[in-house]
């Protein structure tokens, strides 16, 4: 098949491109390099089955051509990272809402199956754990910029499902939970690469808030495998799936683990949210997915344990 990946030079997109090429597919990678990097795809850049476009999803003429010329679309292009979202609220909303609308409309024009990358942020401040795909969601005030990301992704889901129900566009939605691995940058607020880089440099490992908030971290290879299997499964059309690990760790314990694995002399420093992001910033205490639906659908189960993922990330940054 010929497959289009928006955000194809990004962290997850680059691993997805590699995976699809190994399966014998042709890949079209589109990226505006706002957060993606060409270095992410240097291992496959010379592949005769890879076509790279440095451009934006707002280039309607190009999107029309690329979608028409492919068999499937993975729409991963989005504003990413809490730091980036807080600093760039207009770009976040416009990219996630208007950009996704463009991709869905052209996918519908040519009736191409499309994967919409959504987010665990969608669950907001809900305490109904573990998070099931159909639960009610609770968000904070519109004055708090971080919620703009969750709200914009919710609009994406509503729009995608509307096109499925009304126009029979084959869509699959995946809510991603803290995907990590080599190539991920800490520049935009991603916690694991930031901790690893700080530890390797023997700088203070900066934990935002009290460190008691917990997350579940999944290996990018496991996540990419799940995306492809969902797109290969006809029964996944019109469905939403949590994609990630359900093994929980507090951010403070994560910092201690990174410090130990890097043999670092770093101290662990707590920084209030209002200093790290913005006044009134709100965070979720726990974020744990219920992955029973995706396990039943495609047999998904995270395979790579956290320590092994962290070791791979540490080696990547050492190089």
Domains, the chain, in order of start with CATH, read 2-181+217-246+287-304 (3.40.50.720)
In angstroms, rounded to a whole number, what is the distance separating the alpha carbons of residues 115 and 303?
23
Give pLDDT, residue 148.
87
Is the distance from CB of 182 to CB of 12 less than 8 angstroms?
Answer: no
Q: What's the rounded mean pLDDT across residues 289-316?
A: 98
In angstroms, rounded to a whole number, what is the distance separating the alpha carbons of residues 234 and 141?
38
- Whether the per-residue pLDDT at 277 is higher than 70: the answer is yes
In angstroms, rounded to a whole number, what is the distance separating the alpha carbons of residues 184 and 287?
20
Distances (CA, A) of 202 to 47, 97, 226: 39, 40, 36
Q: What's the rounded mean pLDDT across residues 172-180?
A: 97
Kindly report, residue by residue over 254-264, the tens digit of the pLDDT: 999 999 999 99
Return the DSSP state at 283.
Answer: -
Q: Is 19 helix (H, G, I), strand (E, B) or coil?
A: helix
Kindly report, residue by residue over 150-168, the tens digit of the pLDDT: 899 999 999 999 999 999 9
Give pLDDT, residue 274.
85
Give pLDDT, residue 188.
67
- Tell me how far apart the terminal alpha carbons of the chain are, to the nearest angstrom: 35
Catalytic residue among 149, 188, 208, 277: 149
149 is catalytic: yes
Kindly report, residue by residue over 84-142, the tens digit of the pLDDT: 777 888 888 888 999 999 999 999 999 999 999 999 999 999 999 999 999 999 888 88
- Whether the per-residue pLDDT at 278 is higher than 70: the answer is yes
CB under 8 Å to 89, separation ≥6 — which residues? Answer: 145, 148
Give pLDDT, residue 283.
83
Kindly report, residue by residue over 39-79, the tens digit of the pLDDT: 999 999 999 999 999 999 999 999 999 999 999 999 999 87
- Whether the per-residue pLDDT at 23 is higher than 90: the answer is yes
What does the DSSP assignment read for 73-133? EEE-----SHHHHHH-HHHHHIIIIIIHHHHHHHHHHTT-EEEEEEEGGGGBT---SSBPT
Query: Phi/psi of residue 261, each to 5°?
Result: -70, -25
């Amino acid at each position: 098949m010929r497959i289009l990946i928006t955000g194809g030079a990004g962290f997850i997109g680059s691993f997805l491109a590699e995976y699809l090429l190994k399966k014998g597919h042709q890949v079209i990678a589109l990226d505006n390099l706002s957060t993606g990097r060409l270095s992410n795809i240097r291992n496959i850049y010379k592949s005769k089955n890879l076509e790279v476009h440095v451009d934006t999803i707002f280039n309607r003429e190009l999107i029309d051509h690329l979608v028409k010329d492919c068999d499937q679309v993975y729409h991963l292009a989005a504003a990413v990272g809490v730091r980036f979202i807080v600093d760039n609220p207009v770009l976040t909303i416009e990219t996630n809402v208007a950009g996704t609308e463009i991709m869905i409309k052209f996918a519908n024009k040519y009736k191409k199956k499309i994967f919409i990358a959504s987010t665990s942020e969608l669950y907001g401040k809900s305490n109904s754990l573990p998070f099931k795909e159909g639960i009610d969601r609770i968000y904070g005030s519109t004055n708090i910029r971080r919620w703009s990301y969750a709200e914009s992704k919710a609009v994406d889901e509503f729009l995608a499902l509307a096109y499925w129900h009304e126009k029979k566009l084959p869509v699959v939605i995946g809510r991603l939970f803290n995907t990590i691995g080599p190539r991920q940058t800490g520049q935009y607020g991603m916690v694991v690469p930031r901790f690893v880089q700080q530890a390797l440099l023997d700088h203070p490992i900066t934990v935002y808030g009290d460190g008691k908030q917990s997350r579940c971290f999944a290996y990018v290879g496991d996540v990419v495998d799940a995306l492809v299997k969902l797109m290969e499964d006809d029964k996944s059309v019109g469905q939403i799936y949590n994609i990630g690990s359900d093994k929980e760790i507090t951010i403070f314990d994560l910092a201690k683990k990174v410090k130990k694995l890097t043999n670092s002399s770093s101290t662990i420093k707590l920084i209030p949210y209002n200093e790290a992001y913005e006044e009134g910033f709100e965070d979720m205490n726990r974020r744990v997915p219920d992955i029973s639906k995706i396990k039943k659908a495609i047999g998904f189960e995270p395979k790579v344990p956290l320590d092994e993922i962290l070791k791979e990330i540490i080696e990547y940054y050492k190089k």
